[in-house]
Structure 1
Amino acid sequence: MNNDIIRTSGLRKHFGKNEVLRGVDLAIPRGAVVGLLGSNGAGKSTLIKCLLGLLKISAGTATLMGEDPWNLSAHTKSRIGYVPQVVHLYPWMKVRQVIEYTGAFYANWDHAWCRELLDQWDLDGAAWIRNLSTGQLQRLGLILGMGHRPDLYLLDEPAASLDPSGRRSLLRSLLEITEDREHSILFSTHITSDLERIASHVAIMGNGVIDYFGELDELKDSVKRIRVHSPVDLPPDFSVPGALRTEINGDSAIVAVAAVNDEVIDGIRDRWDASVDVEDLNLEDIFLELHDAQ
């Protein structure tokens, strides 16, 4: 039985002559918490909207919970929580009214949890929507996307407008949601430190395709920075298998490597009679190394 909650194959989306998605292949297993990383314009928001059926794909295939996103059933829609990057709500309503209005569309709306989130995220239920700050609107949008306890969360830059306190509260809530490993999350973000706290998988997107998808721990175990010190000057063509970037300065070199193992390290030591130090990288450094290598 296919356990993928999201699957795409050769997914393309163009707007006129501008092709934003250029053949996205992605398979997200049920229960995964996936951070979607990419530079501005890489296609992250477009991909999420295609998965939701908000945009019709131009070519290729996609399934969400086993269904075509463009023809999602009402039952499947009720199991999805979506929070856009920019939240637009009714300015003439109050916070509590918007929550009650939205909750009326869901049979399983959790009113108690919404009240808990209002308190936790310091939102006044009596406040007018028109008077909310951008960060407060983002918090309210998250409550509206989470209030029906969906099975799948699609979050587009959910923490972009939140202050550090709001981000911590959001991450704590998402961790609680995914404790049972039955709920799935796909969220785009530029804040790699947040992703490292909660993600089980990472998808790195560039130029409309997925350059990497896999478990976060596996990626961090694989990509390293090595420092080489040789008793003689290293040649200009000094290279290391799997190198993403190489900087040579006389008898030393700094190399970012996509797949470090003992064979690679021993090979450098033996060939150049060199000392080799291996450094761990955080996710932001890994993303920059992979991005710059494209």
Structure 2
Amino acid sequence: MAGMSTVAFIGLGIMGAPMAKHLVDAGHDVLGVNRSREPVERFVEAGGRDGGTVAEAVADADVVITMLPDSPDVTAVALGADGIYANAKKGALHIDCSTIRPDTARELAEAGASAGIRVVDAPVSGGEAGAKEAALSIMVGGSDDDVAAARPLLEKVGKTIVHVGPPGSGQTVKAANQLIVAGTLELVAEAIVFLEAHGVATEAALEVLGGGLAGSTVLARKGAGMLVREFSPGFRVDLHHKDLGIVTAAARERGVAIPLGAHVAQLVAALRAQGHGDLDHSALLKLVEQLSGRG
């Protein structure tokens, strides 16, 4: 989308707040909307505008970006009488950066088209650090023209922006991403407990592991915090639990077996059931310690 745009940004949480701030810094007129007031006030202090209600914020917006926790949240904000599609101007672009069900993303694209709103699904990966650094990986589903219109804005918040197919495709790729991340976190957790049990210098061990085939962004970004049991949320267990529900449902829908992924989904569910839903997903380490009799 050429030039500076008026952007309604709905959802100023851990990920949404820094993303919205990057758009402000790029010169866009950004109206922030959030369910609670404090994030909006912080956003105004950072140079954004208070968007008021969803209906008020989207009325004159060229672009609406949503960054919300789950499928029902996005559906409610998009389809309600006071929502995006009933109040945005014809031709506005809705970029949903939330992580939701692929079938929900397809339904939103159809509903948007009926209302004269262009819709792309653009879930992101990279966690809080990636959002703050404008280094997110963004997988985008939608028509060629709509994705092209979204790209200049997405480039202000991400480093890797890839059009992966028609509506819903971005969410399908994000589900695969969450499957890989959860599995990798579990194996990093197991490796750390294994190393500690043998009295190995774990910092040195993770350094050399990170330089070989076992190296990954998950290991690089989460390993050090896991060693010192620092689980302040960059991405909460609750949200990864939700995402793994999306993965398992989508896999079942197409008859795809994900035996390891399904097992990790159960481990994440167990960690959440123990009351750790607000911790970072790297807290899978706590469960491995417990299962090993070392917690």
State whether TM-score is above 0.5. no
Structure with the higher fraction of residues in helix conformation:
2
Higher relative contact order (CA 8 A, sep 6+): 1
Work out which of the two has the higher radius of gyration on C-alpha atoms and give 1 or 2.
1
Question: Structure 2 length as normaliser, TM-score?
Answer: 0.30
Question: Structure 1 length as normaliser, TM-score?
Answer: 0.30
